[in-house]
Chain A
Amino acid sequence: MFRAALVGNPNAGKSALFNKLTGARQKIANYPGVTVERKAGRMTLPNGEPVELIDLPGAYSFDAASPDEEVTRAVVHGEFAGEATPDVIILVLDAANLEQHLTFAQEVIALGRPTVVALNMIDLAARDGLTLDPDALSEALGVPVVPTVAVRSRGLDELGEAVTAVRSGRAPEEGRTTPHLFHLSLPERRLAAKHMARGAILSRSKRAVVESSLDKVLLNPWAGPIILFAFLFIVFQAVFAWATPFADALEAGVGAVSAAVTGNVPEGFFRDFLTEGLFAGVGAVVVFLPQIVILFAFILAMEMSGYMARAAFIMDRMMASVGLSGRSFIPLLSSFACAIPGIMATRSIADTKDRLTTILIAPLMTCSARLPVYAVVIAAVIPNTTVGGGVGLQGLVLFALYIAGILGAMAAALVLRRTVTKGAASGFIMEMPRYQMPLLKDMAIGLWQRAWVFLRRAGTIIFAATIALWLLLTFPKADPGESQVDASIAGQIGNGMAVLVEPIGFNRDIALSLIPAMAAREVAVSSLGTIYAVEAEDEDVVADAVTDRIAATWTLPTALAFLAWFVFAPQCLSTIAVAKRETNGWKWPVFMLVYLFGAAYVFAGLTYWLAVWLGL
């Protein structure tokens, strides 16, 4: 099986092509710097021959300016550890921005390897009024050029045929790799690119108007920040308002199944396991699926439309003021979904101190795992009312928690940049992608993937941690008249822990739930569900949802302190593991744990005592 690699500038559509050609589901988004690793997949050529296809991070040149670009350089030059040089290069170019993309293209073709050009995004070029001549471009570059529209699967068979042709040396251009492309300096290449781009454009009818008219509003110095803020505000309102009917239905569903089980399974260990561990515990997390899906619908829309890069532009000044580099943006924005891809995305940051700072503050961005934790407590203690003009109070509190995370990250960066990661911040240099209407199908696939990831987590890590807690709560059995929780191993640990967290207003149940929640934040919710179910063993378990128990047994200051705790607390094993891998050792993940738990403790305490003092 021979190997082909996708090479090109960032945001040319390499990963989109990769997905279509191999059936993979690599992340694609409309901003540069999404792919930071090499990824392999298998595609089948039109003649039935299998090929190993490699997706690579985008690069502007082989003179790598960041670690992800270096991966591309190494793979293409056959210097990547344990990997032979690719047999065929598929060079992906953005048809609507040829002048820029052809500069690196010459560098790639000058390698003299069998190369096929995918002239991608011809639909966008057409939107900009450009009609292109692939043959003229092929003539100029000396390699076959195939027009493609990756996202609509157009031109894929032709691309496959061209790969077969250059592979077997049957390409008409074979052996004609233009020698003039060798040994050119960058300015010379750029000039050549300009000429080639001009030569390839048959006609142009209008200028790119979509970008300038949208940017005029969205990047307006006054309107831009207001629109961004308003948009985020709406997102969090929607998370509560739109999800309610679905969440209620789901909750009722879990309740009904649980009740059916209670009625049909004989009383005993197994039934308790199902009702207390599975339904009351894991079920309490699963009911947040609608909220997660709504949140991701907005995140995906931002990523696909190109607005994410504009948000970065608007926020850059704030980042600069705390010594953060502009390159930290994409990693930090990705961290709103999950800190793990966020931390991986820091590979696009060249400066080690910059990169380290970004890794250390990424867990402060409010990831989707916090949503169930926030939502359950908010639903329990914040009244579902509106304040002034139909703004939901619950959504407002959620919005405030996200802002608190951002401010926390800014403050942390400010301190870190003056102490442990001192150094000059690199600048903010980013190509603004063109706007695109998100495709419904891509959105649906993206949402389905996120929903699946969430459910899989519920079925694995959340399930395991919750069941472990349930076992510890079940044994040893309490004597009659004694509370089961107090008698259990977990309860004794919890009572011991409670001493530590009482000063910040936490009760025993919270202390107990925080331990298994080290595995993942959502486990705090499932654990509380299980604890309350065990406590209520003699009563009707199902009727007592976590929310009701929290509302009944927590004071408002305690609930607020709990929310403040989760703004900071790094309760996620995977984040710690990935931080260790990306920083090559335990030093920084340990530092991260210490500073974030310290901050969580201090701010939860401050919140508690302030709330008590205010008489809440």
Chain B
Amino acid sequence: MDDRPTLDRLAPHRAARIAHVAWDDIPSDDAKRLRALGIDEGAEVAVVHRGMFGGRDPLAVRLGRMTIALRRSHAAAIAIAEFEAESAAS
């Protein structure tokens, strides 16, 4: 795995934009579902909650007015770019 920032490593409550999704790393039905929910390039997301066990899986991601739960393994296929302003502020 390269060290481009991915959604699974995004700090809580930090806004980010999805830069790229490695769709090939996600089973096709799940990919369809994620896409249909709006998890796609260009979407603005923030991780709002995480589970406790096993590497803090799963994640609850805020997207627009929705909260979507997904597993880390999927989030790891989603490359993100953090907002400059947000990163500077924290």
Contacts and interface: CB of A to CB of B under 8 A. Distances in A.
Contacts of A429: 30, 33-34, 37, 68-71, 74
Contacts of B33: 60, 65, 429
Contact of A103 (B27, B38, B70): B38
A427 B56 contact: no
A430 interface: yes
A220 B51 CA distance: 8
B69 A430 contact: yes
A263 interface: no
Contacts of B52: 221-222, 224-225, 317
A428 B53 contact: no
Contacts of A212: 48
Nearest to A222: B52
Interface in B62-84: 64-71, 73-74
A220 B56 CA distance: 11
Contact of A317 (B49, B54, B70): B54
Given A100-B65, A428-B58, A432-B60, A187 B30 contact: no
A309 B54 CA distance: 20
A66 B32 CA distance: 10
Contacts of A63: 32, 36
Given A430-B68, A431-B68, A215 B49 contact: yes
A99 B33 CA distance: 16
Interface residues of B, number: 35
A61 B38 CA distance: 11
A96 interface: yes
Nearest to B43: A190
Contacts of B30: 65, 426-427, 429
A190 B32 contact: no
Contacts of B26: 427
A342 B33 CA distance: 22
B48 A316 contact: no
Contacts of B34: 429
A61 B36 contact: yes
A287 B66 CA distance: 45
Contacts of B69: 309, 312-313, 316, 326, 428-432
A313 B67 CA distance: 12
Contact of B58 (A100, A104, A225, A317): A317
A65 B50 CA distance: 26
A432 B67 contact: yes
Nearest to A424: B27
Nearest to B50: A221
Contacts of A224: 52
Contacts of A220: 49
Interface in A53-69: 60-61, 63, 65-66
A373 to B, nearest CB: 33
A313 B51 contact: yes
B29 interface: yes
Given A97-B66, A313-B58, A320 B48 contact: no
B63 to A, nearest CB: 8
A350 interface: yes
Interface string B12-50: 000000000000001101101111111011100000111
A100 B40 contact: no
Given A96-B65, A326-B71, A190 B38 contact: yes
Interface in A85-118: 96-97, 99-100, 103-104
Interface in A295-322: 309, 312-314, 316-318, 320-321
A576 B14 CA distance: 49
A186 interface: yes
Nearest to A326: B71
A426 B29 contact: yes
Contacts of B38: 99-100, 103, 190
B64 A431 contact: no
A208 interface: yes
B64 A314 contact: no
A212 B12 CA distance: 13
Nearest to A66: B29
A317 B51 contact: yes
A316 B51 contact: yes
Nearest to B70: A429
A389 B52 CA distance: 28
B60 A215 contact: yes
Contacts of B65: 96-97, 99-100, 128, 208
B48 to A, nearest CB: 7
Interface in A174-208: 186-187, 190, 208
A65 B31 CA distance: 9
Interface string A400-432: 000000000000000000000000101111111
Contact of A221 (B37, B41, B51): B51
B67 A211 contact: yes
A426 B27 contact: yes
A341 B79 CA distance: 39
A596 to B, nearest CB: 28
B16 to A, nearest CB: 18
Contact of B57 (A128, A320, A424): A320
3 cross-chain pairs, A with B, having the tightest CB-CB distances, nearest first: A60-B36, A221-B52, A65-B32
10 contacts: A103-B38, A190-B40, A316-B51, A318-B53, A321-B54, A326-B58, A326-B69, A428-B69, A429-B69, A429-B71
Given A103-B38, A215-B67, A429-B30, 16 more contacts: A65-B29, A96-B65, A100-B38, A100-B64, A215-B48, A215-B60, A309-B69, A320-B54, A326-B71, A427-B71, A428-B58, A429-B68, A429-B70, A429-B74, A431-B37, A432-B68
Interface of A: 60-61, 63, 65-66, 96-97, 99-100, 103-104, 128, 186-187, 190, 208, 211-212, 215, 219-222, 224-225, 309, 312-314, 316-318, 320-321, 326, 350-351, 424, 426-432
